[in-house]
A and B are shown apart, each in its own frame.
Chain A
Amino acid sequence: MRWCFFSLLVRLVKIMDVALPILSNILIPGLLFAVIAGSFSLIYSVTRVLHLAHGATVITAGYAFYAALTLWHWPLWLAVIFSTAVAALLGMAINSQIYERMRKTGSVSIAGTLIATISILLIIENLLLAIFGSDTKFFSDLQGQVNTFGSVNVTDNEIRIMIFCPILLIILTLFLAKTRIGKALRAVADNEMVAEVVGISSRRMRMMAFAIGSVFAGMAGILFAIEYSLVPSMVIMATIMMFFRTILGGIGSIGGAVIGSLLTETVTALTGWYWNIGWVQLTSFLFTFLVLLIRPQGLLGKKKRSL
């Protein structure tokens, strides 16, 4: 009996040796994308716009950070504030100049906004390409040194991600639950018409959603840039990844975004570990599709009335 138990313990420790690093592999991108997908979901639930250009906001914040820090040699705190501000302004500008205008001219349909947002995505990606060039921008110093915790080795930046992202998510949840604006946002998300009836300006709330969502995207963007470096083609990649993690969890649900991100990263990590890195993307797509086939509204999504 004792022998059995002992060998089991040894096996467990061995597994932990491998499992913990894999866990860190899941948490780092998972938490980062949880913030990105979560803010994307927030925007969608309040405005009903599939703001795919949100991915561009993330990377643009990264490039703004690069410009401020590496090109203009600003102090770190200023660069962070600058990048977040750029992200927020970008999100709000896109909303006011494009989506709101489309609402006015009556051309806001799913197809129309999708095409608009993809166009914006392309424009931003190419502007970044034209301005910054196609070579990869690194932030090696900010990645920090490596810290070892048993079998897990994480850089300073990775620790930052694992601490800040959950904090950001908690702040977001509390904000939506407890503050007046948060409740107003949720009201508009639930039922726009009724919200208007009780005096909430849905227009203002939409702008607020974009502002808040983009701020979170900006902060995630800075951490993202440090961890994964910057290259313009990441705009589309990051957007695709964000999109699939969101629909897995269910669009419009922040909790869904978190689960979707962590789950996808788990599939990714396990595929990469047991199989090969090349198949990782395809496997996570297929996994998402399978889930959608069974549950088209995503894991935590609300069921829609079908035609």
Chain B
Amino acid sequence: MILLITHLLVLFAIFGIAALALNLTLGWAGLINLGFMGLVAIGAYASAIVTTLHDWPMFAGVILGMILAAVASLLLGLLIRSMSGDTLAAVLLGFNFTVYSVGLNWTGLTRGPLGIPGILRPELIREDRFFLVLALALFALTLLIVQRITKSPFGRALGAIRDDELHARVLGKRSFRVKLITYVVSGAFAGLSGALLAHFVRFIDPASFFIPQLILVISMVLVGGLASSKGTFVGALIMTFVPEIVDLATTLPSATVGALRAIIFAAVLLLVVMFRPKGIFGTVELPSYADRD
């Protein structure tokens, strides 16, 4: 039992980092980044590939993952500059699909659907509980950094841009620059989360970073509340543990258990989005694009 809780806590911390990163773009920058999982995947694969196939140390792999994900996020930000509405949503979602597709087909690099097994986990953190310490520490660090960003003048400018870009620009805020910086930071943390996941689970494949995981992370952010770090903390806690509790409380054939867990995530998210789109601690509405003809 303790083993299970430790395992879940690590997942909570790792996905918590991802959720904080998503909250930066979704809650504070007001960008519905459905391609988010693609960034996580880049961080994960980067670290996995260099540590497994090229014998880099884990530390270096994780840093590389963060850098690559941040760069990808930057490029994505540049690409979507003039897009809005449904095309924007499509392109962002498409980014996720593209990363998935590349992961699946560029077998020379990623081994395709075979995935990368036996990912390095240094002796020191081989046991789950030691990894947990690392994961929690990084989560706390991320939380700290995100808080500093959002409570600073930079964060306030970001909020202003999100709420009313036109007026913010009139007042002199360089909206595009601010958004780009946010995307980069968000991307870096997404990469961190991905790399940690790779080293924890020790096996990744393209399907590890697709729609079900996207739903999971979005739920954490929405349930907790947009633009609220403590909301994300709580949201991550809920989404990691509630399905397990339901799992343990019922006795079902193991074949349906996986399906049930996914249904719970999706159902919770659906209910939140329908009835309480601000989430538990949120102060902000979901982004909505005004141009409908």
Contact = CB atoms under 8 A, between A and B. Distances in A.
Direct contact of A and B (CB under 8 A): yes
Interface of A: 48, 50, 98, 101-102, 105, 107, 109-112, 114-116, 118-123, 125-127, 129-130, 133-134, 191, 236, 240, 243-244, 247, 251, 278-279, 281-282, 285, 288-289, 292, 296-297, 302, 304-307
A98 to B, nearest CB: 6
A130 B252 CA distance: 11
B187 to A, nearest CB: 19
Contacts of B98: 282, 285, 289
Contact of A282 (B26, B102, B218, B270): B102
Contacts of B84: 304, 306-307
Interface in B254-277: 255-256, 259-260, 262-263, 265-267, 269-270, 273-275, 277
A48 B290 CA distance: 13
B97 A110 contact: no
- The secondary-structure label for the interface of chain B is helix
Pairs A-B, 10 closest by C-beta atoms: A109-B288, A122-B266, A126-B259, A119-B270, A111-B32, A130-B259, A119-B266, A111-B286, A107-B277, A129-B259
A48 B71 CA distance: 34
Contacts of B260: 126, 130
B288 A110 contact: yes
Nearest to A307: B84
Nearest to B93: A243
B285 interface: yes
Contacts of B256: 129-130
A116 B265 CA distance: 12
B267 A123 contact: yes
Contacts of B214: 118
Nearest to B216: A122
A9 B292 CA distance: 53
Nearest to B33: A111
Contacts of B32: 110-111, 114
Nearest to B214: A118
A248 to B, nearest CB: 10
A251 B86 contact: yes
Contacts, number: 141
B97 A115 contact: no
A306 B288 CA distance: 14
Contacts of B101: 281-282, 285
Given A285-B94, A285-B98, A289-B94, A133 B255 contact: yes
B212 interface: yes
A120 B90 contact: no
Interface of B: 26, 32, 34, 82-87, 89-91, 93-94, 97-98, 101-102, 104-105, 165, 210-212, 214-215, 218, 222, 255-256, 259-260, 262-263, 265-267, 269-270, 273-275, 277, 285-293
B72 to A, nearest CB: 15
B269 A115 contact: yes
A236 B210 CA distance: 10
Contacts of A306: 82, 84, 291
Given A281-B105, A289-B94, A114 B89 contact: yes
B273 A116 contact: yes
Contacts of A297: 87
A123 B34 CA distance: 18
Given A292-B90, A306-B82, 12 more contacts: A48-B292, A50-B86, A102-B274, A111-B286, A115-B273, A116-B274, A119-B267, A121-B211, A122-B265, A123-B270, A127-B263, A247-B90
A112 B90 CA distance: 14
A92 to B, nearest CB: 17
Nearest to B79: A293
A112 B273 CA distance: 6
Contacts of A121: 211
Contacts of B274: 98, 101-102, 105, 107, 116
Contact of A123 (B82, B94, B222, B263): B263
Contacts of B287: 109-111
Contact of B270 (A116, A191, A281): A116
A275 to B, nearest CB: 11
Contacts of B102: 282
A296 B83 CA distance: 8
A122 B286 contact: no
21 contacts: A48-B292, A102-B273, A102-B274, A107-B273, A110-B85, A110-B86, A110-B289, A111-B89, A115-B222, A120-B270, A126-B263, A130-B255, A130-B263, A134-B255, A243-B93, A247-B87, A289-B94, A296-B87, A304-B84, A305-B291, A305-B293
